[in-house]
Structure formats: structure tokens, C-alpha cells
Structure 1
Amino acid sequence: MKRRTLIKGLATGLSSLYLSNLYAHGLLRTPSIPRMAPGPFQPSWESLEQYQVPDWFRDAKFGIWAHWGPQCQPERGDWYARGMYQEGSDQYKYHIQKYGHPSKFGFKEVINDWKAENWHPEELVALYKKAGARYFMAMANHHDNFDLYDSKYHRWNATKLGPKKDLIGGWAKAAKAQGLPFGVSVHASHAWSWYEVAQRSDKSGSYAGIPYDGKLTASDGHNAWWSGYDPQELYAQNHALSKDSLNDGSMGEHWDWGNGASIPDKAYCDKFLNRTIELIDKYGPELVYFDDSALPLWPVSDAGLKIAAHFYNTSIKKHGKLQAALFAKVLNEQQRKCMIWDIERGQSNEIEPLPWQTDTCIGGWHYDRRLFDNKRYKSAKTVIHTLADVVSKNGNLLLNIPVRGDGTIDSEERNVVEQIAAWMQINSEAIYGTRPWKVFGEGPAMEATVALSAQGFNEGKGKPFVAEDIRFTTKGKILYAVMLGWPANNAALVKTLATNNQAGPISRVSLLGNGQLKFQQTSEGLKVQLPEQAPCKEAFVLKIEGAIV
């Protein structure tokens, strides 16, 4: 016992090479490889086609996401751990001003600066449930390769460095307390090429030619705060650069590991597999989101296929049936049968035959103080309109509320969340548990749709919604018509419900939050006299009954 304690104490200050020797001679144990869960799903696309989206997810419609990690600490927006190494960029200039040069203060130092000192997950998740979220997702790692949970496969994690807290454990406990299905988002498969900027040095100025910290190793950490930790385990940069790596815009071309991307080695892929299996086994998420085309590391590795099969089989063992929701992007026809298609910052332009999800944010993915200072968040109105549009097309909305480095959300964000809550309290029956109708809607915005690009990214590019834009949902024999504005003269016209058109005779019309209304079904459409005072803001729901479905 004393010998083991002595070795453990010595190991914390030794280089990775010395640690490797200890492992090799059996003086330290290598973490055991997690076992893949047995079951009907195998790690192949053909096997994953058995997948069926669980009803609970189809009924939930709305989730909230905490896309939060050390890149939120500088409060300077998305992809900070990449941008800070791009000479001349906004984030590079900001980094030098706030922290110093990236050859001296790299992203590993940003991690060390991050403490999450005011984080109270119970309060935040309770607020999100009040706002109508039916599931909650937390980021488990990002492209910065820092695990936000207790990982025995990756020492660069939040229980050992930075906050020194099990953040995923805290989020999971808070979600369980609120009765919300818990999800994790996993982004770290891309660190291999995403971090290549950390291998650079300035081309000009007083630091020209002095390398950033991306190629440091454990042996460079003598007497440093990170002594005993290998920066290569974080940055993963012991490899040749991808083609066109010096072009800051090349990352998108390398996303699918093509076009000259440097291909991750087997050790990197195996470690990602082990980390993610451990995440699923330890925290039991019902949802897993991959920021990948198809699956992580596909097609250069089958790690993503193994994770998907394990996740599905684990869900069956836990619940007796498949209850898991797995998301990825840019899916072909076969892959959309294997998991849920996620569209980033965009919407489909039609009713999709299979359930899908839009993920978007009221600001940037990582917290950006400038959006608060300049009042540039999405409004509650925009969020509610997006929700109605997505749900009418057989989709769900996952909404990120950016979290500050200290673990709080700001007053403007809280105001948006509270306004969503107020709307959902009156109108949620037109959202939860609904299914698409024969058509998803009507109105002028349908005449100016914008096609999806790559992961999505058609959000906000069409015409803004007006009162004549209506979105339909159904529940049993009830049709809901969500009006995305209050009609002039308090008179609504639903053209799709004209006699001899999409619907049979209508027997009753009411306004959620108000009551029964006078109506007339004519050859022009369903004419409804609205009350003088609207019952809520942003969008208004007609509840229509009769022989319409």
C-alpha cells in the first residue's frame, strides 16, 4: 500500500515518457477499456437502420442546451481556442490584450483561468423547465478537447484542472431533479485538425518565429503549473499539418477528413472511443449530440459506429426498449434512418418524413459579452416563431442559452427565457405531443424560402414572418393554427381552411388563452373574429375542431 502511494505521488510530477515506463513495467495500471454493450445493434450502417425515434422525443419538441466550456471564459465568442492562434484575428488581438501572447499564455492557461465559481445548475435547469424545455443538454467537450466530466481516459478534464468540478455530473443531477431527459453534446473528434493553428507562430512583429504552445510536451512543464500534464494530450498536435492548414478557412474543407486533412492515428481514435463510451456509461444520457457529419471520425474510423451501437444497446438494456436520441449532421438517406438528422442554425423547407431537430442559439455558441452589451440576442419572438415553424415540419428545437465563464447567464438572456416561458404557459398544447398536418403552413414567408447549406445555415435568410404566416400542428382531431403575428382589425383569415380545400366542416374555433370565437368558413378561407386584446405576445394559436384531420 505504501509503495503504491509513493509511486502515485511521484507520478504527478513526472513527464509522460516516465509515466509510460511506469505503465509498461506494471507499476501503474492503464485504464481498462470499456466493454461494448451487447444487443441487437451492431457497429454498421445496415444494423443502425433498425433505429426508431422514441415517442418521448417526438412529443417533447423543445429542449435547452448549455453549450458551455472553457472557451466561454474569455467571453469573446465561438471557437476561441482556435481564433486566439490566428494572427491578426479579433480573438488573437483580444487575447494578447487580456492574457498575453499565445506563445506564453496558450489555451491551456485559459483552462487554468476558468473556475466556474458562480455555477448553480439546479437554478438554471429549473428555469429552463419553466420555459417549457422538455429535455436538457450540456456540452461534454468541444473541439478544444477538454472533457467537462470525470474521465479516466483523459487527464485534461474539469475535475482535475480549471473548475475542478464534475460539470456533467452536476448538470445530470439537476436535470434528474427536474424530471428532464438529459443529453450530452460531444465535439472533440475534430481536435486533431482544429487545433493545428496552435502549431503556428507569428509572421511579423516582436514575436515573429516564436512558436505558440501547440507543440509543447510534458518535458517542457518543469516547475510550471501544468507540471505532470502533457499538452500534447490536449492539443493532439504531434502530426503533420493538413493541406492548406495555413489557410484559416480550410477547416470546413477538412471537416469530413477529406481534401487533404491530416488523418488521426489509431491511438487518437481509440481514445476518443473510450472517452465517449465512458461518458455514456457513467452519466446515462438519453440524448447524445455529435457535431459531426454522419458520425465522429467517419469514414476514417469506425469509432462513431461503435459508440452509436453501444448507446442504443445500453438504452434497450436500461429501459427494455430503445429510448435513446442520437443526433448528427449532413446525413444521407440511409444515415437519416440510423439517427436523428440535426440541422444547425436552419430549418427544413418541407414536412420531413422522419423526425429531425434544429439546433440554434440566441447568441453565439460560446458566450460573447459584446452581444449582451449591444443587445444583439435573438428575441423571444424569433425563438417562438422558429419553434412553431420547426414543429409544423415534424421537427424539434434545441436552443442554446450561452453561459458565462463563471457559470451564470446574463440579464438579457434571462429576460428572453422568461418571455418564452410566458408564451409556453398559454400555448404549449399546440407544441407538445403534436404531429404535422397535411401542409405545414401558409403565408408570404413560404414564397421566399432559402435552401439549406452544408449543416444548415439558412436561418434568418428568408422573409421575416408576418401575421399572414401561419403554421399548423395537429393532436388527435384538433388542428392548431399558429399565427405569427396579430392580424389587422382583429380579423384572422386562414386560407388553407376554405370550403372544399384542405379541410371539412369546422364546428368550433377558440383562441388559446382566451376562449371560443365567432367564425365563418367560406370559399376564401376560415374567417375568425379575434378579441380586442391579444392574450399573449409574439404568436397566437387558433384551436380548430371539426372534420378537418
Structure 2
Amino acid sequence: MYKKNKRNQLFTALCILCASFLQAQQKYQSPVAENTEKVASGKFKPTWESLQQYKTPEWFRNAKFGIWAHWGPQCQPEQGDWYGRFMYDEGGAQYKWHVEHYGHPSKAGFKEVIKDWKAENWNPEKIVALYKRVGAQYFFAMANHHDNLDLWKSKYQAWNSVNVGPKKDIISGWAAAAKKQGLPFGLSVHAAHAWTWFETSQRSDKKGPYAGIPYDGKLTKKDGVGTWWEGLDPQELYAQNHPLSAGSEQSITSLWGQWNWDNGASIPSVEYCENFYNRTMDLINTYKPDLLYFDDTGLPLYPVSDAGLKIAAHYYNTNMAAHDNKLEAVLFGKVLTPEQKKCMVWDVERGVPDQIQNEAWQTCTCIGDWHYSRAIYDNNGYKSAKTVIQMLIDIVSKNGNLLLNIPVRGDGSIDDKEIAILEDIAKWMDVNKESIFDTRPWKIFGEGPIAETSNPIKDAGFNEGKASLTEKDIRFNQKGNLLYVSVMGAPSEDIIVKSLGKAKESRKIKSIKVLGSNEKILWKQNNDSLAIAKPKVIPNAIAVVFKIQY
């Protein structure tokens, strides 16, 4: 009898557990309504299986190098990335700076930073023209960040750059500048995570004169009577009328382990998901971007909602309709499964795979902090042109593209040190760009000390800068009957290329030249290696490219 009752109890508990799991799954897969923004009909349906029909367009595989303006109100304080989250972290550097310059976050929150942002010196035509001269083959602008401010005249978000802050349609300005320069135009969308990202605005100080007084994350529209933001609802910006995620109150970094909506993240409401869906659909329909970047694991809000799947299907279908039934769109996601890599282009943040990838992919990185940092400028902390170019060569050798952010100041300008770096990149590109654009990987990506060292990426990326490339490191890529051999630095002695010995390379070499030089290069192909005499003239010490013709 005891065992029977025990079995019945176990069976009942199992049924309850299964029912709870099914209820959780139903909640976890909240479908968004298409009441105002409908998914365009076409080849692609909002399922992972259908999205696997995607093929990366050749124009993107040829482009190799893009430049990004990851710019918004968080650049105004010049205190670096994630300011809108960290300014609510009591005792942190950005919190202290904010209290000193804006006031306590119970009175002056992130909305006051938005008010302060004027973009008074912004000249998008001048900036994009410079980027094209440097060698960018596509241009990206940030449409919104985790701070939830839309940078266009958004139909579904009253907190937008036309209504507040600079009172300008930022995306329209960037789009016009890109079109004038003939550059494909990309938009990055980060706002899916405002739900958890802004949870710090629900906090309050634990000590001092403001202890226990809530920050401004719980304010509502009625609290704005008589203020500069009267008529606006702070909850549309902060989205904080919900319980906190697990660990949110204790740790500023708890969000990092919950980025893909597991491990205790507070689950967004259906209304929040639908608002994100409508905003992004409006963005796509208004600007018809050539490239679309999501700062999300897989697709935004997946698997909480089907919003991301519907957005992806709509984006592909509308792009095909605009290009005579040929898909020319490029969509990016992070931390993708092998199946998801067939649906879109894999983006690796601040990192590079250590092997050639079968599918086209992209690194996104920055010469400094994602949002402008005065400290990085003052301390000469930017990546050098040498670092950027050597990263680009390495990335291209592995079938990837590089998207490089140049931090823009709050006023809309880029600083003198950034311009100097860009000019140095342009000098190298002027001589060596044929070894980058329109190329494809060779049978191996390279040889030398770093090529023989494992450097796996972690989560979304984050493995750059762990080893320095030297003249002993060589990278390969090809174009037709041409092989480009890039030496990472100015060679101090003859160059020995083991992979091009007769035992491994059966094709007959007709000639070897150095890009940017008319010097006659002496070389000999031995059984175990190709020996190239050190050139007398080094066109650019960042990297020397040997052009081998078969």
C-alpha cells in the first residue's frame, strides 16, 4: 500500500511537473500579433527551417570591410559603454560621474542624458565620405541601443531622437549620406534587451542620504506633470514595470549570463515583444536597409517570442521583392548554432575564430569603447591602424568580414586621434586593397606562431588581442589565379613559406611581386618551402603583401 501510494504521488508530481513545463513553454513562445505591421509574403516563413534557404549574397562576401557609427545618447557623457545601465550602480565610476554632473539618479536619470544630447556638430556626409575614402565597402548606423531610444521618427516609440534630445532624425541623415557615397547601408538594432538591461534603474542607494529612495526607473507618465518630459511615459523608455531577474539586485554583471533569456532572466511581456516587433518592422519598411544587425543570441527575443523570426522572414521577403526576386540582404546574429548559421550571417563580437569558416561571417569590433570614452582618448587607448589592418587580413583569410566601430562623440564629431588612425588605414589600403576585396580563402588561412596556437572564442567572441602578430605570421587569400601572401609586419630577413614548397603546392609559380613596389623580387621554390628574398623597399610596414601569379 505504501509503495502504491508512493507511486501515485510520484505520478501526480510528474504530471504537475509536465503541466508546468508545458505552461512555461507556452508562455515562453509568445506569438506577436500582426495587427499593424504584417509579415510580407514570399519565399521565407517565420521558422528556422524556412530561414535555412538563405544564401549570403556575393556582394557582401566581396566587400570585406565596413565601418560603423555605434552612436547614441550614451556617447554624450563620454564615459564609455553601457553608461545607461552602469550609471545606476551605486559606487561605480559611471554612477559617481553621473551624480557629479547630472545629479542623483533618483532625480536625474538616463532621460536627462537624452535631454542633454544635442548632436550639434554632426555632419553625416563628411563622416561617411571619410569612411569611404578609408576603404569601407558598407556603412552601419545604430538604430537603437539597449537604452531603448529610437534614433528615427519612430511610429511606435515616443522616446525617439526627433521628439527628444537632438530633435533630429539620425537614421535619415546617415541613410542619405550612405546613399550619396554609394555604400550599402546597415542598421543595428539592440533594443530587445532593454527589459533586463535597465533593471538597475529599479534600484536605490543602500547607504548615504539617498538610501532607500528609488531611482527613476519606476516613474510613470503622471509623474511628469510640470517637468520637461511632461506627456512622455518613462515606462516606454525604461520598461521596468516588472519583477527583477535573478541576481539583478546583487550583481551588475548578472545580465551577462542571461543574454539568451535563460538562467533566471525576467521574461518580457507580450506587449513588450509586440512593441519591439512593430518598431523594428517600421524601421525596415522605412529605410530598407541592405544589412541588419541584431545584438542577440540567435534572433531577438527568441525563444521568448516569435518576433525575431517574423522580422527575419519579412526582411528577406521585402528585400527579394525590391531586387527582382534575388535576395541581397545580410542579416546578423550572435552565438548561432550550426543550423542557425545557415539562416543568417554569424557575427563575432571582439573576436575571431581560429580556423577558416565554411559560411561567411563577420567580426564586429571597435578601436576604443563601443560608446565614446574620453579616458580612452586621453590615455591613447585606441587600436592602432596596424592592429586594425592585421585583424582585417586575418579575418579575411578565414572567410570573414570586419565591421569596425569608430566611436562618435556626443556632439556628432570624431576626434583627431581617430582621424589619424583612419588616415593610416587609408594609406595601407591605397597600396594593398586588391589583396582584400573580392578575394576568397585559400586552402589554409595561414602559417606561423599564431596560426599554430589554439584561440577559441568565448560565447559571443571576446578573444581578440590575446596574441600579437609579428613578421613571422603569414596569411593567405586568393583571387582567380592569384595568391596573396601577407606578412604581418616588415620582414627583417628572407621569408620562408612552408605551405608553398613543391611538396605541398603543385602549381607552377609564374611571378612574385610586392604590392606597391616595382622592385624585382628574387625567389626560389624548394621542395619543402618557398623562399622569398627580403625586399629592399617596404611599401608599408603594417603588412607586406606578396602577389603570386600562377
- Which range, TM-score by smaller chain? over 0.9
Structure 1 stretch displaced more, 43-52 or 248-257:
248-257
Equivalent AA in structure 1 for residue 225 of structure 2? H
The one-letter amino acid paired with 1:425 is D
Report the Cα offset of residue 43 of structure 1.
Answer: 0.2
Asked whether the 8 Å contact 2:488–2:543 carries over to 1, the reply is yes
**Paired residue for 1:57?**
60
State how far apart, in whole Å, the 1-side matches of 2:506 and 2:148 are: 53
Distance apart, 1:485 and its partner CA? 1.1
**Contact 2:78 2:374 (C-alpha < 8 Å) held by counterparts:** yes
The residue that corresponds to 1:437 in the other structure is 442
- 1-side partners of 2:356 and 2:506: how far apart? 18
Output the CA distance in 1 between the equivalents of 2:506 and 2:318: 44
After superposition, the C-alpha distances for 1:224-263 in whole angstroms (9 at most, x for unaligned) are 0000000000000011111111121110122111112111
Residue equivalent to 1:189: 192
Residue deviations 1:144-179, cap 9 Å, x none?
A: 000001101000000110000000000000000000
Residue type of the alignment partner of 1:528: I
Partner of 1:13: none
Counterpart residue identity of residue 336, structure 1: K
Match of 1:237 in 2: 240
Shift of 1:303: 0.2
Measured after TM superposition, the shift of residue 503 of structure 1 is 4.3
**Identical aligned residues as a percent:** 59
Q: Distance in 2 between matches of 1:520 and 1:97?
A: 67
What one-letter code is carried by the residue in structure 2 that aligns with 1:392?
Answer: S
Tell me the SS of whatever aligns to 2:61: helix
Q: Which residue of 2 aligns with 1:502?
A: 505
Distance 2:138 2:327 in 1: 17
Distance 2:478 2:382 in 1: 31
1:306 corresponds to 2:310:
yes
Instruction: Work out whether 1:88 is the aligned partner of 2:91.
Output: yes
SS of 1:482 mapped into structure 2: strand
- The Cα shift of 1:523 comes to 2.8
Partner of 2:262: 258
Partner of 1:423: 428
In structure 1, the residue matched to 2:323 is: 319
**Does the alignment pair 1:526 with 2:523?**
no
Helix, strand or coil for the counterpart of 1:391? helix
Partner Cα separation in structure 2 for residue 201 and residue 354 of structure 1: 47
Aligned to 1:460: 465
Alignment partner of 2:368 out of 363, 369, 391: 363
Q: What do the CA deviations read for 1:43-79 (whole angstroms, capped 9, x no partner)?
A: 0000000000000000000000000000000000010
Q: 1:25 maps to which residue? A: none
Partner of 1:198: 201
**Pairwise mapping of residues 38-187 of structure 1 onto structure 2 (< 5 A)?**
38-187=41-190
1:331-350 equivalences under 5 Å are 331-350=336-355
Question: How many angstroms does 1:498 deviate by?
Answer: 1.1
**Structure 1 letter corresponding to 2:318:** T
CA distance in 1, matches of 2:96, 2:213: 17
Q: Secondary structure at the residue paired with 2:140?
A: strand
Segments of structure 2 that go 5 or more residues without pairing to the other structure are 1-33
Residue 448 (structure 1) aligns with: 453
Q: 1:352 aligns with which of 352, 357, 374?
A: 357
Q: Which sections of structure 1, spanning at least 5 residues, go unmatched?
A: 1-30
Separation of aligned partners in 1, 2:530 and 2:514: 14
Instruction: Say whether residues 1:541 and 2:529 are aligned partners.
Output: no
Letter of the 2:383 partner, please give it.
K
Amino acid at match of 1:377: Y
Q: Secondary structure at the match of 1:327?
A: strand
Whether contact under 8 Å (2:197, 2:255) holds in the other structure is yes
Q: CA deviation at 1:533?
A: 2.3
CA contact (8 A) 2:503 2:528 kept: no
Q: 1:224 aligns with which of 223, 227, 252?
A: 227
8 A Cα contact 2:492 2:534, kept in partner: no
Q: Distance in 1 between matches of 2:258 and 2:238?
A: 17
**Number of the residue aligned with 2:476:** 472
For 1:193 and 1:418, the matched residues in 2 are separated by 40
Give yes or no for the alignment of 1:413 onto 2:430: no
AA aligned to 2:213 is: I
The residue identity in structure 2 corresponding to 1:519 is: W
User: What amino acid is aligned across from residue 348 of structure 2 in structure 1?
Assistant: I
What is the Cα deviation at residue 104 of structure 1?
Answer: 1.1
Retained in 1: the 8 A contact 2:218–2:240?
yes
Task: Tell me which stretches of 4 or more aligned residues in structure 1 moved more than 6 Å.
Answer: none
Which 10-residue stretch deviates more, 240-249 or 119-128? 240-249
Specify the code of the residue in structure 2 equivalent to 1:378: K
Give the aligned length.
Answer: 514
Q: Which of 399, 402, 408 is the equivalent residue of 2:404? A: 399
**Structure 1 103/537 Cα, relative in aligned 2: closer, same or farther at 3 Å?**
same
Query: 1:287 aligned to 268, 273, 291, which one?
Result: 291
Q: Distance in 1 between matches of 2:163 and 2:541?
A: 46
Work out the CA distance in 2 between the residues paired with 1:223 and 1:503: 80
| Structure 2 SS opposite 1:343 | strand
TM-score normalised according to structure 1 size: 0.92
Shift of 1:446: 1.7
Structure 1 residue 32 displacement after superposition: 7.2
